[in-house]
Amino acid sequence: MRFKPLFFSFLSLSVFCSFPTQAQEDNRDSTKYPLFKFDGTLKNKFEYATELGRHRFSVRNSRLGVSGKITPLADYRVQLELSSEGKFQVLDLSGTLAPCEGLSLTLGQTSIPIFNSYVTNPGTMLFANRTFLAKYYAGTRDIGLLAKYSYNELPFPICAELGIFNGNVINAPVWTHKFSFSARLGFGAMKGFRSTLKVYGYPKSDTEDYLLYGADARYEGDNWKVETEIMRRDDNINRADLTSGYLQGAYCFPLKCKLFKNIVPAVRWDAINQIKDKELDVSRITTGLGFGLSEKKFSSLLRVDYEWYFVNNELSFLQDTQEMNANKLTVELVYVF
């Protein structure tokens, strides 16, 4: 694989940086290790498929995590999904070393640097349901080795990520002849303007072999943000290629209310296409209204969403249930702690 020499050349640079700088030495104080902190996300929701007259309650996510430091230069991350629509999953099991300023090496089960966390993480999403490209393209985590380098001395931050993985997503330490790989180059910070370019080679099996690539851009102000992304998935075996994109935004208005601290209207358009012609196979418009429960913007809230689906050509992965591409009203309670 052509990606391997590039990855291991990047990794070998850490050898020359493995000795701590004076600044790192100065930061080592009398703090007692290990350090840890807990976090969690809980999403409970009610859905009503208006055209079908069907409804359900569900616990969409109930995540608990712990992260911290073993030493000043060694971090860890563990996260469990207690119930994702009734299923238990281990999400994150990783350790990270920081051999020099700006460089980190993560080994274990971790996020693949291809999808944006703000459209896959249930605690940061603007809507109850993920975008098409975040839900149907590939898994968001795998077991492997991820190298990340950040440089902040320019007028804007730059971050480069390179990773190799088993290629069978989470909780499956399979033997393989060919690793999957991912690379992402980002410009800017989460506040203000940010853009990334990314690619993901995903040779899962003899019947599934994908190449994902795309770009995104976002801007976040004090009380608002807008985000857009387009991603292509080339199917190297079955030629069932996919193209998907989205545009979404939200504004946070402060409220003087005992229960709700702000109100967040949001809107999104997203689409997914498999057939190579002028019309989109499936597109969707989602409108939402969130009522913030804390002073932190775009966080814990009571949310009401409505989704309108526009289907020109049926896609097989949207046919598991009638409700998947039906217009839906969703009421969701999200806690982030």
| SS3 state of residue 201 | strand
CA 263, CA 312: separation in Å to the nearest integer?
35
What pLDDT does residue 1 have?
47
Residues 245 and 270: beta-carbon distance below 8 Å: yes
Residue 30 resides in a domain: no
For the entire predicted model, the pTM comes to 0.86
Residue 23 resides in a domain: no
Burial category of 199 from C-beta neighbours within 10 Å (exposed 0-12, middle 13-18, buried 19 and up): middle
What pLDDT does residue 308 have?
98
pLDDT tens-digit map of 206-254: 788 999 999 999 999 999 999 999 999 999 898 889 999 999 999 999 9
Count how many domains the chain has: 1
**316: CB partners within 8 A, 6+ apart:** none
Residue 188 resides in a domain: yes
* Enclosing domain of residue 144: 3-14+40-336
CA 231, CA 216: separation in Å to the nearest integer?
8
What pLDDT does residue 297 have?
92
Q: What is the CATH number of the domain that holds 81?
A: 2.40.160.10
Residue 29 resides in a domain: no
Give the residue ranges of the chain where pLDDT is below 70: 1-30, 276-277
What pLDDT does residue 13 have?
45
**119: CB partners within 8 A, 6+ apart:** 125, 130, 131, 134, 227, 229, 246
Residue 182 resides in a domain: yes
**257: CB partners within 8 A, 6+ apart:** none
What pLDDT does residue 277 have?
67
Residue 24 resides in a domain: no
Q: DSSP alpha helices (H): ranges in the chain? A: 3-16, 22-27, 117-120, 132-136
Q: Could you give the dihedral angle defined by the CA atoms of residues 64, 303, 306 and 311, in that order, rounded to the nearest 10 degrees?
A: -20
What pLDDT does residue 62 have?
96
User: What residues does 265 pair with on adjacent strands?
Assistant: 289
Torsions phi, psi of 11, nearest 5? -65, -35
Residue 21 resides in a domain: no
What pLDDT does residue 183 have?
98
Residue 282 resides in a domain: yes
